[in-house]
Amino acid sequence: MKNDNRVTLRSIYEGRAPHRLYWTLGQFDPYNLPESQDFQLTDDGRRVFGSGGSRNQEKPFASRGAPWLTIDYANVRFAHSREDDVDHFSWETPRGRLTARRHSNHMIEFPLKSVDDLPRWQYVQENLVYRKNPEFTEEQGRKCWSVSWKWSPVQEMLQFETGVENFYYFLMDAPDRMRALLDTMHRKNLEGIAIGLNACPKATVLMLTENTSSQIISPDYYRDLTLPHVKKYVDMAHERTMKCVVHMCGSLTALFDEFEATGMDGIHSVTPPPVGDTEYMAARERFGDDFIILGRFSAQLFINRGRDAIRETLRTMIPERLIHTPFALQASTDEMQPGEEDIQALINAIQDVQADFT
């Protein structure tokens, strides 16, 4: 029988040091190892690891919302359909029609294609309605130890509504309309977060899914457009004596000053090279020993590398000081379908490093 080890991970999210190398691989951890049924047989006969992320990508986009929330629109005719693994969306408004398409976690058609679409999206956002899900029970709410929320307005637009280039074009061509839209989206976020915090009164952690990276936003733009929003969400958590941990898995070091100014309590998915630019200890040195760090160990660091090479990489990245702070190693498949031999080599290497600290 598999054990439920969320309490151990929860203690790290709440700011307590594990005093050992605690790790996760999707839903797995030291006490809950992958079993044979967690691997899938490919057409060429390989046994590959089926991650939770890849399974989530198979779900229609509309089915991925928070369990305590319902999302609706007033005076907007919204439609969603799915065809050949592609989600199709449309919004009919008095100001015009918008369409979008999404495959897996990636937009292949953004809803905002020109500045003429900004008034339409403004109307959509103004008429967005968040409500507590009536099917989410008080008992469910009491069992929640974390509340997860989506992106702040800038990150949402960059990833899902304009794309990177158009976001900055629109900001130059229609700055007043863009700022008004961002303000409206922020107000709606405040409403949604408040619903989640009230629905889960015993939660101790607010998780924000930002995906911020200095590759798509500069420190100046972050300070101007994003920092005030994230700081407000952090303040909402702190008012309830909760921690606020922010998911960011890209290039982060150039934004350290801005992150500190938000008051955030931790970063989920601090990512070293080759995928990101932030070593675990760089974040630890910058933010101090109380800061919560979930350190991402990307698939490129363990696929086809073998136990010995993985072990030496881990020893280089994780000094003993780190395990006596709120830190967990977060191995990630990055949707690359590592083979069973890769996963076993990774687990063996982690266990070798765990032994170093005992």
Residue 178 · residue 122 · CB < 8 Å:
no
* CATH number of this structure's domain 6-70+136-356: 3.20.20.210
Determine the pLDDT at residue 2: 44
Which ranges of the chain have pLDDT less than 50? 1-7, 54-63
Distance from C-alpha of 45 to C-alpha of 54, rounded to nearest angstrom: 19
* φ/ψ (deg, to 5) at 133: -65, 120
Q: Which two tokens stand for residue 46?
A: 């390989």
Work out whether strand 86-93 and strand 96-103 pair parallel, antiparallel, or are unpaired.
antiparallel
> 3-state secondary structure string, 296-338?
EECHHHCCCCHHHHHHHHHHHHCCHHHHCCCEEEEECCCCCCC
Residue by residue, what is the 3-state secondary structure of 232-255? HHHHHHHHCCCEEEEECCCCCHHH
Residue extents of the structural domains in the chain:
6-70+136-356
CA nearest to 252, candidates 216, 288, 220: 216
CA–CA gap between residue 348 and residue 115 (Å, rounded): 53
Q: What pLDDT does 349 receive?
A: 98
Give dist(CA 161, CA 159) in Å, integer.
6
The whole-number pLDDT of residue 50 equals 72
For the entire predicted model, the pTM comes to 0.93
266-300 pLDDT, tens digit per residue, is 999 999 999 999 999 999 999 999 999 999 999 99
CA distance 211 to 276: 12
Calpha distance 334→329 (Å, rounded): 15
